[in-house]
Structure 1
Amino acid sequence: MQYFDDVAKRRIRWLTRRGLLELDIILGRFMSCAFDQLSDDDLNAFVALMDLPDPEILALINQSDQSESYIYPQFEPVLEKIRQAQFL
């Protein structure tokens, strides 16, 4: 497991700049509301999530394809935090 210092967290912030405007908005809200409270386990999952293509990330966040959530169960805790940030 990787541990995240301030430099690593700045790099992760850069990863959230995506090609889909809707995803940029969702991740921007998450970054401003909840990112600083993530554990190292959550950060590891978040970095792995950011490696996925934008449409797949958006589908996982929106739960538009329930079958995909079974493929990536390791993302579910961080996905739930992203979803919750939309209502803060």
Structure 2
Amino acid sequence: MRFDDAARRRIRWLTRRGLLELDIVLGRFMAQEFDSLSDDELAVLVQILDLPDQEFLALVNQKESTNNPAFIPLLHKIRQAKP
């Protein structure tokens, strides 16, 4: 799948979450990594963003693990985003 500018804007919009903790983490990640993500990584990010906020936060905080191995590298990048 190829992500054009409109699709990238939609993904940016999807990163606005209902939990402040996710907004902070995703804001850092988006500022530092978003423009360099490949189309494959963007496809995985869309899947992750489809998760409910509590589940997403639990994955980011490593309180839960994922059964989807494609999520692991991107979750690592999200966690590594610096303030």
Instruction: Please tell me the TM-score bracket, short chain as reference.
Output: over 0.9
Structure (1/2) with the larger helix percentage? 1
How far is the alpha carbon of 1:72 from its aligned partner? 2.0
TM-score of the two chains, using structure 2 as the length reference:
0.93
- The 5 Å alignment of 1:1-88 reads 2-65=1-64, 68-69=65-66, 71-85=67-81, 87=82
TM-score of the two chains, using structure 1 as the length reference:
0.88
- Unmatched 5+ stretches in structure 1: none
Aligned residues: 83
What amino acid maps onto 2:80 in structure 1?
A: Q
What amino acid maps onto 1:82 in structure 2?
A: I
Please, what is the CA RMSD of the aligned residues? 1.1
- Unmatched 5+ stretches in structure 2: none
